[in-house]
Structure 1
Amino acid sequence: MAYVESGEFTRDQRYIATRITADGRDGFPVEAGRYRLVVSRACPWANRAIIVRRLLGLEDALSMGVCGPTHDERSWTFDLDPGGRDPVLGIERLQEAFFERYPDYDKGITVPAIVDVPTGAVVTNDFARITVDLSLEWTAFHREGAPDLYPSSLRDEIDEVNEVVYADVNNGVYRAGFAGSQEAYEEAYDRLFRRLDRLSERLGSRRYLVGDTITEADVRLFTTLARFDAVYHGHFKCNRHKLTEMPVLWAYARDLFQTPGFGDTIDFTHIKRHYYEVHRDINPAGIVPAGPDLSGWLTPHGREALGGRPFGDGTPPASEPVQQFA
């Protein structure tokens, strides 16, 4: 499977836009137990959905299937499950759920995806919309004390921040890593680090990106920062600085990592295996680096001095053990 393009990398954004809503206007009403969120812990886009599901306490209402860290040109597979089949959907490949709805589906088989369990057909893989809808449409099943990750009073500002973070950082690391020319790479590299510098300035005097609580904006930035030193710095040549060499962003990332619902969703082994084993046109031998040293994620960050209330008037989710570092 080829990832590097001849010039500038352009992400295919033709996602399935069907929504699961409280009123069921697209034909898929919110119902506890009806849908299955399919993810890979390696994928930053899927990681967002894992975090939001956990922060909102939707585990009992929305089950989750976890694919392995690697995939081939066909799709993600359920190789972590007994017999290589998802125990709820009964399928070996996520591709089967896409074909169940669209037999001639010719776009990317991506995670996160939400599948309608009764029919076995995919409903949506629109990652940006999925997390927002978990916040806005699934409120009947939120846990008591769930945070408001997309407050109406801050929505415009969150959207503005998300737009530039997506273009320059979330997707920016891929534009650098999959660039097919020196010019395209350098443009993406410069744009990435200009944005990281601006984010450092923004976060130098405030604990969170928007307002004084964790929002959708923090979730979106965190999943890229969590992968920065382990993957993007070396594998994607985003090497002006490591995250650990950017003091404000490193402290901000550690603050979130140590917040229940964030670090306990991270699996660095899966993250490294995915990028280094799958992207063979960048890393032909498929060798997974032994480093970096990840123990610093649990060191004090000092961000409490900036104030802020992580969960606002809510409460943290029940703690889970942090994934083992490797």
Structure 2
Amino acid sequence: MAYVNPAGEFSRDQRYITTRITADGRDGYPVEAGRYRLVVSRACPWANRSIIVRRLLGLEDALSMGIAGPTHDERSWTFDLDPGGKDPVLGIERLQEAFLARFPDYDKGITVPAIVDVPTGQVVTNDFAQITIDLSLEWKQFHREGAPDLYPEALREQIDKVNRLVFADVNNGVYRAGFAGTQEAYQKAYDRLFARLDQLSELLSGQRYLVGDTITEADVRLFTTLARFDPVYHGHFKCNRQKLSEMPVLWAYARDLFQTPGFGDTTDFVHIKQHYYEVHRDINPTGIVPAGPDLSNWLTEHGRESLGGRPFGDGTPPPPPRPEETVPAGHGAI
């Protein structure tokens, strides 16, 4: 399975299933507790966002979660972590089965996160950017008491702007560098990535979070890329001007979030490394997974409290993750 574009610049296929699960059910899928299953892989940064948001908002009772293994083949993600290799709720071995159940001729990417309608076994959506916004806005009736407002109305325009820039140059920028097929395309992506990281460092040197004084959707989206930077992107994707741990402001910002309930305790570094180094064989033909880096530095003091800010605003931290959703021992820094 090839990821590098030999012609030059990597272009992400962004043809997602845009059906939405809404409070009014206007797309045919109303918000209902227990009806849907969020399928994720802890390896994937896009899926990791939905894991964090679901946890921060306290949606565990309303929206169950299936966890696929860290690797996949050309067909799709598989449930090899579950007994018998089948998701215990959906009864399927491959996420592909839920996509084909709704679209028998589906020819686009089988991606996570995806939300599946349990009664029919059909995928509803894999539109990762909209999924987390809708968890905040459409699923409000099922939020826990003390859930933070991750997408406050007064800040949405600003959050959307930050998200667009971060997606283009950072979230997707690391892939544009890693999957570039020519020196010119790689250099262009590399320059854009680090120029944006420098701008973000400057912004975050004077404020604790990206937008406003609380954690928002924007912080969730940046965090999942930063968490993968040193274990994967620095070496595997050749984003090697500096490690994250050598960029003082962003490193402190990332540690601040990592040490916040819902972030570090949903981050599985073993799955992250297994995914990138084993799946991208056109970049890493041997499939050897690096032993490093040392992760204990994620737990060091960050000093970001001095900038003020209230992580959860008027809300409260989420409770610890449920036993069945806890990152396995030895897979994280916590």
Q: Common fold, TM-score beyond 0.5?
A: yes
Find out whether 1:111 has 2:128 as its counterpart. no
CA deviation string 1:156-189 (max 9, x = no partner): 0000000000000000000000000000000000
1:240-279 alignment runs, 5 A limit: 240-279=241-280
AA paired with 1:233?
Answer: H
The residue type equivalent to 1:314 in the other structure is G
Q: How far apart in 1 are the matches of 2:26 and 2:104?
A: 24
Root mean square deviation, CA, Å: 0.8
The 5 A counterparts of 1:17-56 are 17-56=18-57
Aligned to 1:3: 3
Q: Which residue of 2 aligns with 1:201?
A: 202
Maintained 8 Å contact 2:271/2:331? no
Distance 1:325 1:38, change over 3 A: closer
Matches of residues 131-146 of structure 1 in structure 2 within 5 Å?
131-146=132-147
1:294 paired to 2:295:
yes
One-letter code of the match for 2:74? E
The answer on whether the counterparts of 2:25 and 2:31 sit within 8 Å (CA) in structure 1 is: yes
User: Is the contact made by 1:294 and 1:325 (CA closer than 8 Å) also made in structure 2?
Assistant: no
SS of 1:64's equivalent in the other structure is: strand
- Cα deviation code 1:62-98 (max 9, x no counterpart): 0000000000000000000000000000000000000
Instruction: Compute the displacement of 1:314 (Å).
Output: 0.2
Query: Match of 1:183?
Result: 184
The structure 1 segments of at least 4 consecutive aligned residues displaced by more than 3 Å after TM superposition are 320-323
- What does 1:98-177 align with in structure 2 at a 5 Å threshold? 98-177=99-178
Q: Distance in 1 between matches of 2:136 and 2:148?
A: 9
2: CA distance, partners of 1:114 / 1:70:
19
Deviations 1:189-238 (A, max 9, x none): 00000000000000000000000000000000000000000000000000
Map 1:67-86 onto structure 2 (within 5 A): 67-86=68-87
Secondary structure of 2:2 counterpart: coil
Give identity over the alignment, percent.
84
TM-score where L is the length of structure 2: 0.97
Could you tell me which amino acid in structure 1 is paired with residue 54 of structure 2? R
Deviation of 1:32 after TM superposition, in Å, equals: 0.2
Distance, in Å, in 2 between the alignment partners of 1:112 and 1:185 is 27
- In the alignment, the residues of structure 2 paired with residue 143 and residue 193 of structure 1 have an alpha-carbon distance, to the nearest angstrom, of 38
Unaligned runs of 5+ in 1: none
Shift of 1:322: 6.4
SS at match of 1:234: helix
Once residues 319 and 125 of structure 1 are traced to their aligned partners in structure 2, the CA distance between those partners, rounded to angstroms, is: 27
State the distance in 1 between where 2:284 and 2:2 align: 11
1:218 lines up with 2:219 in the alignment: yes
How far 1:319 moved relative to its partner?
2.5
Q: TM-score normalized by structure 1? A: 0.99
For 1:59, give the aligned amino acid. E
Aligned mates of 1:254, 1:26 — CA distance in 2: 39
